[in-house]
Amino acid sequence: MLFFVIRRFGNMALIMVLVSLAVFLLLELTPGSVATKVLGPYSSEEQRRLWLEAHGYMEPLWTRYGSWLVNFVQGEFGQSIRFKVPVSDVLWPRLWNTTILGFWTFAIMIPVSLTLGVLAGMREGGLLDRAISQISVITTSIPEFASAVLFSSIFVFGLKWLPGTSTMSDGFDPLQLLLPVMVLVVYDFGYVTRMTRASMAEVMTTPYIRTAVLKGLPYRRVILRHALRNALIAPFTIIMLQINWLLSGVIVVEFAFAYKGFGALLLEAALNQDIYVIEACAMVAVFVAAATQTLADIGYTYLNPRIRFK
């Protein structure tokens, strides 16, 4: 197991280096544009040249990449071109905001989707199953940008119950979190519900469940003691993958509700070619992807004793 974890994190480090190199090459091959971003489109050629010299951009690409990598390992992610502050000053607060959003999304979405999935899978083809399945398919089919507009028109413009944006400019306000969480939960719960339902339905057809039922065990006991643990193995992996999805999924939601999180930061950085912010965001995304995958694999071994890593 230890060897497996070490290997996984080794792979993760390698992927991060490769991704960082790719992003660096793509964005830094045009050093002139960096000076234009900083000094503005109306700066003169001479002004841009002087700025590039003063900030080390005339050094060879490999030297610049090497020093960036060394600094990155030491926790210095460089200076944001757009914000003119260290990247870490912007990145960590934004990541924390997205963590809050993600936490509440998962805190609502996981119990809801697991419960609905189990209820639907318990009696495949029943009325409840059909109703839950239909709702799941419909909600998952509506993209976040559409549901964001829909919910805004109902709760902000129509009923006037909720604030329209989530900038938290006067400090944390749970009300401002409602719409973004609602959009993410509605989009994602259907998918996890369907996966849980499929897994539950499969378990319910296995011989050991049939035996338990025929043995005369109460149905409640059959579900809670025998079916549930095995039925939750597949959804566990799916849920771990949702953390990855969330990192990119929040882009639309954060943009729509002006929530100052990681997704909005990544989008703004990409549109403004804010190289070091994009680099740092890419590293965070790769880290989260690899880490959740590793955690999912480790968790899987506990849930499914038949699987062992060598």
Partner 1 sequence: MSNKHNGGCHPYIPELREQLRCGKIDRREFLGTATRLGVSAAAAYAMAGSVFAPGAAFAAETPRKGGNLRVSMNVKEMTDPATYDWSEKGNLARHMTEPLVRINKDNVAEGYLAESWNASEDLKTWTFKLRKGVKWSNGDDFGADDVVSNFKRWLDPATGSSNQGRFSAMTEKVDTGKKDKDGKPVMSTVGTEGAVEKIDDNTVRFHLNRADLSLPESMGDYPALIVHRRFDDEGGDLSKNPVGTGPFALKEYTVGEKAVLARRNDASWWGGDVYLDKITYIDHGDDPSAQLAAFASGQIDANFRTNIEQVDVMKNIPDLVNYEAVTAQCGVARMKITEAPFDNKNLRKAIQACIDQEKILRIVYLGRGAPGEDHHVAPVHPEYFKLPRIKQDYDLAKKYLADAGHAGGIKIRIDCVANPTWEQNACKALAEMLKPAGIDLAINIMPGGTYWDRWLTTPFGMTSWTHRPLGVQVLNLAYRSGVSWNETSYANPEFDALLDEAGTLLDANGRRKLMEKIEMVLQDDAIMHQSSWRSIFTTAHKRVRGIYCQVAEEHHYNKVWLAG
The residues binding partner 1 (CB under 8 A) are: 30, 32-33, 36-48, 50-51, 54, 82-85, 90, 149, 152, 156-157, 160, 162-165, 167, 169, 255-258, 260, 264-265, 268, 270-273
Q: Nearer Cβ to partner 1, position 198 or 258?
A: 258
The single-letter DSSP state of residue 126 is S
Q: Cα angle vertex 207, ends 205, 209, to 5°?
A: 70
Nearer to partner 1, 51 or 309 (CB): 51
In the complex, minimum distance from the CB of residue 33 to partner 1, in angstroms, rounded to a whole number: 4
Tokens of 241: 């993958």
Nearer to partner 1, 134 or 167 (CB): 167
Compute the CA torsion angle 282, 284, 290, 291 (nearest 10 deg): 180
Smallest distance from the beta carbon of 64 to partner 1, in angstroms? 19
CB of 190 to partner 1, least distance (A): 25
What span, in angstroms and rounded, lies between the C-alpha atoms of 148 and 257?
A: 8
Q: Minimum distance from CB of 243 to partner 1 (Å)? A: 24
260 vs 206: CA distance, rounded Å: 48
Nearest to 9 by CA among 233, 281, 280, 298: 298
Tell me the CA distances in angstroms from 26 to 11, 56, 61, one per residue in order: 23, 18, 12
Residue 19 makes CB contacts below 8 A (sequence gap 6+) with 282, 283, 286
**Chain-centroid distance, C-alpha 211:** 41
Closest contact distance (angstroms) between CB of 86 and partner 1 is 11
Nearer to partner 1, 44 or 74 (CB): 44
Indicate the residue among 182 and 256 with the shorter CB distance to partner 1. Answer: 256
CA-angle at 232, arms to 216 and 108, nearest 5°? 115
CB atoms within 10 A of CB 121: 25
Give 125 or 171: the residue with its C-beta nearer to partner 1.
171
Rounded to a whole number of angstroms, the minimum distance from the CB of residue 268 to partner 1 is 7
Q: How far apart are the first and last CA of the chain?
A: 7
C-beta of 177: minimal distance to partner 1 in Å?
Answer: 14
CB of 82 to partner 1, least distance (A): 7
Specify the residue, 148 or 246, whose C-beta has the smaller distance to partner 1.
148
Question: Residue 13 and residue 290: Cα distance in Å, rounded?
Answer: 9
Torsion sign, CA atoms 221, 227, 230, 231: negative
Q: Considering the complex, state which of residue 70 and residue 149 has its C-beta at the smaller distance from partner 1.
A: 149
